A and B are shown apart, each in its own frame.
Chain A
Amino acid sequence: MTPLSASPPVHAGEHAAPVADWVRIEDLYTNPYPIYRRLREEAPVAWVPSVGRYLVTRYADCHWIEQDAETFSANEDGSLMKRAMGHSMLRKDDPEHQVDRAAYGPVLRPKAIKETWTAIFEKNAEKYLDAFEAQGSGADLHLGFAAPFAAENLREIMGFRNATKDDMQRWSQTMIDGTGNYADDPEVWAKSAASSAEVDAAIDELVPVLRADPDATLLSAVVGAGLPLEAIRANMKMTIGGGLNEPRDVLGTAAWALLSSPGQLAQVLADPALWATAFEEAVRWVAPIGMYPRQTTREVALGGATLPRGARIGVVLGAANRDPEQFDDPETYNINREKKPHLAFGGGAHFCAGTWVARTSVANVALPRLFERFPQLRLADRPAREGGWVFRGMLELPVAWN
């Protein structure tokens, strides 16, 4: 394991990126947005020692990186994600990336969602709303509904018939923790490795079954596409890590934002076409994946600084999505704002493969069903809590109903 250096990979020219030594990880976790505002204004491409990366915070610069995959490689040296999950498509560049991506085939695309998955999202919404209602008024919407709903949807799409939604949640969280284990905590690695081994065992059991009898699931698609076992394992782990917390978190964020703004909620309830708008504004406002890594393949000028070859970058989507150069009054959740593209799903070759699954399961199914089930839904007295910056979402969302 290469330890992160505490100083930038030497570049002491007049265009060296400024050093933002005032940024602390615990502050980013609590509320990154004031930090992002200051970085965008003072040092839009900054070396941040606490994170061991150059953080890029302006919309235009993040967008630029996404469009130039030759200069800004996804195949990062010393990637913790590779250690935790294996080498998935998320850390590959084209053409290698494209081979893995193509193997996902039509499974996550709109037609399959319409024909196969929407009915499953509807079934799971009813099932987990029943369970949530049984917990009684005052229950936590985040853990009580959003999490099991997202986990069970993902389990069924991926085809883990030999696992439970609780396995999916444990696998996802422990491997994500490994991906973010910059402190090199051995206990975190042990849990991540245990989950990784469980996923391998589950896949090994299913491969011959799906080879003999293919179905509509993602596992079946990658087996049918002839992807090598190592690539199947890595990509399934990446998808477990990247396909559960994100729909869960946008569901919680959107519900919280609407419950905090009764005028906007009334507007959406009067015009169901606005659920899609409420969803899109929620991912703009609090991007569930707030930062992802890239590494430069050559010296490059960006945001007024010159970055050396091999520079480790954090593309901060959470900051780009609140750049006042792109969005008026960016810190406010506002479904009536001028429609503009945001970066929450990333861009270019790595554009989120689960975009349409998230839009359909959350905006078309979960949110409307939730507010239909509880017409008087409101925030409970116990305050809601959110946290995170690499991944950000609700930690607890207590709600009340009559």
Chain B
Amino acid sequence: MPSITYFQPDGTHTTLDVDPATSVMRAAVNAGVPGIIGECGGQAMCATCHVYVRPESLSGLPEPSEDEEEMLDCTAAPRHPARSRLGCQIACGEADALAVDVPTDQV
């Protein structure tokens, strides 16, 4: 089973074993990982599941859709040109592991 690791701004982290298709947002919300809200339930509409994907996890991810792209301009914490993604739009897929940094603000 692949895993997702969430690194918090205070330096702590949580690792979750997940189904390959479970999104970074859904896994975090179900497990109560702080700092990932997912208000809109995964329709790329609220920008409250913003994460910074760690560089080593970037290569396997699909490009952001148009909906995700516009929403990344609406995040509470600054957008990073390469690493910012919506957690509801990415999952492990083929990868064994994903590592993401949780931003300081979602609202």
Residues of A within 8 A of B (CB): 66-67, 101, 106, 109-111, 280, 339-341, 345, 347-349, 351, 353, 355-356
Contacts and interface: CB of A to CB of B under 8 A. Distances in A.
A340 B107 contact: yes
Contact of A341 (B43, B66, B74, B106): B106
B80 to A, nearest CB: 18
A223 B72 CA distance: 29
Interface residues of B, number: 19
B41 A110 contact: no
Contacts of B58: none
Given A339-B76, A355-B45, 6 more contacts: A109-B70, A110-B70, A339-B105, A345-B46, A347-B41, A355-B46
Interface of B: 29, 37, 39-41, 43, 45-46, 48, 66-67, 70-71, 73-74, 76, 105-107
A110 B46 CA distance: 10
A351 B41 contact: yes
A347 B70 contact: no
Given A339-B105, A355-B46, A345 B70 contact: no
Contacts of A341: 37, 39, 48, 106-107
Contact of A351 (B39, B74, B107): B39
Contacts of B71: 109-110
Given A340-B107, A341-B107, A109 B67 contact: yes
Nearest to A108: B45
Contacts of A67: 29, 41
Contacts of B73: 110
Contacts of A345: 39, 46
Contacts of B43: 101, 349, 351
Contacts of A111: 66, 70
A347 B40 CA distance: 5
B45 to A, nearest CB: 6
A347 B39 contact: yes
The residue among B66, B67, B70, B71 with the most chain A CB atoms within 10 A of its own CB is: B70
A348 to B, nearest CB: 4
B53 to A, nearest CB: 22
A280 B67 CA distance: 23
